[in-house]
Structure 1
Amino acid sequence: MSQKLKFINKNQTPFFATARKRVEIYFKEKGVSKNANSSMWGKAVFFLTGFVSIYLLIILNIFNPLVMLALSTMLGVFAAFIGFNICHDAIHGSFSGSSRVNKLLSRVFYMIGANPYLWNISHNIVHHTYTNINGHDEDIEVAPGLIRLSEDEKVNSLQRYQHLYAFALYGLASLMWVFRKDFKKFFQKKIGQHALQHPKREYYNLFIAKFLYYFMFLVLPLMVLDVAWWQVMIGFVAMHLAEGVVMGLVFQLAHVVEGTDFPVPNEDGNIEEAWAEHQLRTTANFAPQSTVAAFLLGGLNRQIEHHLFPKVCHIHYPAISKIVQETALEFDLPYIASPTFGAALKSHYRTLRRFGKEAYQEQARVAAMAA
């Protein structure tokens, strides 16, 4: 697939213009900034302090191996929360009205082993534009050949069981990101269909930041901890498995549940709807009324609001979600939401099972025709 996609709004539906105007009116009438407030800064301090504190407790070498393993797992969870609550908003430019502050906070991404420059391209530019479109949105290519999340993907017999092994593979996402994903994407010619040409400084940033990460989380523990090297490895893997499961589930529950679409371009390489309507059809909320989910997940449980208004800090999503939902219903557009995390998880499981069953049936059909 090499064509550049366009969104063709045949019906000229003014949904997004209306929703955007109403959200602008809300902020104007309330007299509040679209960026971080004191609660948002409090969250940032909490998660950063928690992450650094847990790391220091491990490095101080004052606990037995079982406690160290528990701390390592907790460190991975906090790493995911830092990505959700600080880096994600900062890289979108929504955390602060100051580009310098956003840039500074986006560099926290290096601290959890990821590259903010590449994330900006793959997530902000590609995923947010071509959501759930196979061959364009690389975020739905979780494990090509192993997990099928689109009707447009190739099939194999193993995918029949993907609902059983997919969650284990989500746990590997963070490890793959730290050791492979950033390097692979950096040296690709394209991410999706977005051509790459990197500034020279990004080569230095990539390799220096990775080296420092490997030193802080692998070399230094091996040097200072009074445990065997394999115990350090177990702790490192446990940290990333925890981080990977949290990251993987949050993303999948926002885009791969019952009701979400995986659009296929027409013969001209276009998507026959407006971009904003495409976001509503490919994105879902989960546990939208949960204050715990909102606090921990950086507003990503309200993914619809995030995809439509990525320049608005997630701390404001609860306030604007009612506006977005009412406007969507007014224009007879879907507003997909699971009431709880558990309901979304079950919906994702059923979706995995459906795609896996379809893959098996398609392969059986092809085999029968060949015979």
Structure 2
Amino acid sequence: MAKKVKFTNVNKSTFYATVRKRVDTYFIDNALSTHASPAMWFKAAFFLGILSGTYLLILFGGFDLYIKLILGIILGMSGAFVGFNICHDAIHKSFSKHAAINNTGSLIFSLIGASPYVWNICHNVVHHTYTNIAGHDEDIDVAPGLIRFSESETVNKIQRYQHFYAFALYSLSMLSWVFRKDYKKFFQKKIGEHVVVHPKVEYFNLFFYKGIYYFLFIVLPLLVMDITWWQFIIGFLAMQFAQGLVLGLVFQLAHVVEGTSFPLPNEEGNVEEAWAEHQMRTTANFSANSGIAAFFCGGLNRQIEHHLFPKICHIHYPEIGKIVKQTALEFNLPYIESITFSDALVSHYKTLRRLGKESYEENPYINRSSCMVTRKISAAYA
């Protein structure tokens, strides 16, 4: 059984204290709030408008089937962008200083298919603490037996080709999230090695808000739209695949690219470096200077800044990123970044190939003999 992981900071690093002080000084000197700015509120209104407008056009616009299919794809992508730009910050409580506003933003997460409560545990608590640590960070436990992200896991024959099929599997992520993932995670005794005990109200919330989502995106469309059941299934899957692919790519490009590490604790369960330094070695940015990426990705293209300062609204990441990068250089720490989205995509592809095909071919005898002990293959996104 895996031990509870601790970060021991054996080198007595002052990196985090230094960068945090500099970032605090930036906000004080510029008289800025760490929460949403007017630009952030504009983004929130824009993406909510696109999401709700597209949904209503599909239901009541009277368009032909091909236009509805295109609108379904746009609806799926819009759901991902709402999640990135509103819900993600709200669940981190960085959108606003007012709990009611953050709670409302979190509630929207339920309306695009995911449980904010389960996400808070999996992402805020587990992923942000134990980034890229196998057995603890379940974000790298994707499609067990099919996708290998950790060098500590035995590679099997199928994973030799993961650099080809992984992207298709990412498109299944939202479909799994809607019908499987939240239930599975909720009823696990542990998420990673984090033991969870749920308040009773969350049992009600899980099923109640899932029910609302199923009504809005399955029952109501079938009631009001003049389409057959199989036409609905095609449109529904197109929406889910579009949303899943956007989500999968943005999240994986932040941690599974060239240069990021997947450290393991020692026998005592210790990671012998400071938590902040661990984040610098396991996290990457892409398209950091792109205004388009910043607008659509909700700061998730700047995961380094997000992991160090999750309580700061992402609208501020471009400015504090300058501070983080300079401080990292001073402390001789990596600042991993891809200049463009395509650079990050290529880097992710190469990493998948290295962890799959190349790892298998390095020692095929061991890998072939150990295939029987690999985890059960699951085509679903964990």
TM-score bracket for the superposition, by shorter chain length: over 0.9
**Which amino acid in 2 is paired with 1:117?**
Y
AA partner of residue 309 (structure 1): F
Q: Distance in 2 between matches of 1:38 and 1:246?
A: 26
Count of equivalent residues: 370
* Residues 190-215 of structure 1 deviation map (CA, whole Å, 9 limit, x = unaligned): 11111111111101110011111111
Match of 2:91 in 1: 91
Question: Which residue does the alignment assign to 1:55?
Answer: 55
SS at match of 2:302: helix
Structure 1 residue aligned with 2:296:
296
> For residue 162 of structure 1, what is the aligned residue in structure 2?
162
**Counterpart of 1:232 in structure 2: which amino acid?**
F
2:16 maps to what in 1? 16
- Say whether 1:195 aligns with 2:198: no
User: SS of the residue aligned with 1:36?
Assistant: coil
Q: CA deviation at 1:142?
A: 1.4
Partner of 2:69: 69
- C-alpha spacing 1:19/1:368, structure 2 compared with 1 (3 Å): closer
Q: Distance in 1 between matches of 2:362 and 2:119?
A: 35
On the 8 A contact 2:156/2:368 being kept in 1, the answer is no
Matches within 5 A, 1:143-162: 143-162=143-162
1:159, distance to aligned residue in structure 2 (A): 0.2
Q: What is the Cα deviation at residue 357 of structure 1?
A: 2.1
Q: Is the 8 A contact 2:254 2:285 kept in 1?
A: yes
Tell me the TM-score normalised to structure 1 length. 0.98
Deviation at 1:361, TM superposition (A): 2.8
* 1:177 Cα offset (Å): 0.4
* Residues 36 and 315 in structure 2, CA contact (< 8 A), matched pair in contact too: yes
Find the aligned partners of 1:155 and 1:289 in 2 and give their Cα distance. Answer: 36
Q: Structure 1 residue 58: deviation in Å?
A: 0.5
CA contact (8 A) 1:73 1:238 kept: yes
1:64-116 per-position Cα deviation (integer Å, ceiling 9, x unaligned): 00000000000000000000000000000100011121111111001101000
Contact 1:118 1:186 in 2 (8 A): yes
Q: Name the aligned partner's letter for residue 26 of structure 1.
A: Y
- Alignment root-mean-square deviation, CA: 1.2
Aligned identity (percent) is: 63
Superposed displacement of residue 2, structure 1: 2.5
Residues 287, 341 of structure 1: 8 Å contact kept: yes
| AA of the residue aligned to 1:246 | V
Q: 2:290 matched to 1:258?
A: no
Contact 1:157 1:363 in 2 (8 A): no
| Residues 1:117 and 1:368: Cα distance change in structure 2 (over 3 Å) | closer
**TM-score, with structure 2 as normaliser:** 0.95
Write the distance in 2 (CA, Å) between the matches of 1:159 and 1:359.
9
Q: Does 1:110 align with 2:110?
A: yes
Matches within 5 A, 1:1-371: 1-361=1-361, 364-366=364-366
Write the distance in 1 (CA, Å) between the matches of 2:368 and 2:73.
Answer: 48
Q: Which runs of 5+ in 2 are unaligned?
A: 371-382
1:295 partner SS: helix
**Cα drift, residue 269 of structure 1:** 1.1
Contact 2:285 2:338 in 1 (8 A): yes
In 2, the alpha carbon distance for the partners of 1:116 and 1:68 equals 29
